[in-house]
Amino acid sequence: MQGVHIIFTGGTIAMRTNDAGLLVPASSGADLLKAIPQLENIAAISTEQLCNIASAHLTAEIWLQTRRAIITACADEDVAGVVLVQGTDTLEETAFFLDASLSSSDTHGKPIVLTGAMRNADEPNADGPRNLRNAISIAVSAHSLNKPVMACMFGKIHAARAVQKQHSTRTDAFVSTHHTPIGQVTDVGEVVFFEPQSSAPQTPKIPISNALNQLPKVDILPIYVGADEGAFNNSIAAGTHAIVVQALGAGNLNPSVFAAIERALQNDIPIIIATRCWEGNAEPHYGYIGGGQTLAKIGACFAHDLPAHKARIYAQLLLAQLDQHSKKTPHIQQGFAQLIAHP
């Protein structure tokens, strides 16, 4: 029987209400597996408990540790795929980080599947056991080979580049933006993919050192009516290496912020323009001061379909490739141009 390696980091799936009435991490990975009947009929299971925390507490250090654990697991001939269990609040960020930084040589083409739960472990009708069982089924399926990193929630399979948490509490909280889900797990546990490999949303890979222990500082700054240069000045003073701007519409902002961006670019602080809109891409459309065309003209680049939190991760990985003497802005521009070539 093929094996699946499961890495546990915590999240709602592992939370229970304590004597003080507080919902906190409590269940180990071994505890969670006990709630899945006849698991031995699906795969031979090995486990690893990296931590047991809320996903809001995850750090870049834990991401990098998780990445190394996945590479190690995929090198094992007895492991057919890897499941990562974590909290849903940042699940899409972790999925995208892994998708962008793991190459096929790192994973040997083996599937990487993330899952979690919207209901805690002691809640009636908890969704965690079903989600975990589904993720294991995907990881052991021959149809999952050479797919992008995937997230499976509520029976739907999402590619990491597209997956996004749309609702704060519902069990069907996750959707694929710009794309439909790439597959599903049926009620009887059958893994079905809807799209051929070529049409699934692909993320251009960014090779990084396995010895890397930290990611460069990149800030996200939102745009709104009345936004000014203060947040940009504070971010630069605090040592940010790049700034992702969560801009209006297709990528627009006011003259005050435009002036701050121009100064940042002159000092080789790369600027990436994302949109705060739920659907649609960040693209240079308008020619007024602060419009996307004027931002592109001064050297800002565009996140295309990536929301700000994923654009930040992509920028961090690109910056992690550089030494301290390299020019950052051209490298970021070239890196984000790949996203448009691989929608």
- Active-site residue, 12 included: yes
CA distance 164 to 162: 7
CA distance 249 to 278: 10
Which amino acid makes up residue 50? L
CA distance 334 to 202: 17
Q: From residue 302, how far is each of 59, 332, 333 by CA, in Å?
A: 25, 10, 8
Are the C-beta atoms of residues 323 and 216 closer than 8 Å to each other?
A: no
The active-site residue out of 9, 12, 115, 203 is 12
- DSSP-assigned states of every residue in 96-146: HHHHHH--HHHHTT--EEEE--SS-TTSTT-SHHHHHHHHHHHHH-GGGTT
List, in sequence order, the alpha helices (H) in the chain: 29-34, 60-74, 91-101, 104-107, 128-140, 230-237, 255-266, 292-298, 308-320, 328-341
Tell the burial category of 133 from Cβ atoms under 10 Å away from its Cβ (0-12, 13-18, 19+): buried
Structure tokens at 108: 């040997």
Tell the burial category of 293 from Cβ atoms under 10 Å away from its Cβ (0-12, 13-18, 19+): middle
Are the C-beta atoms of residues 94 and 63 closer than 8 Å to each other?
A: yes
Catalytic sites, residue numbers: 12
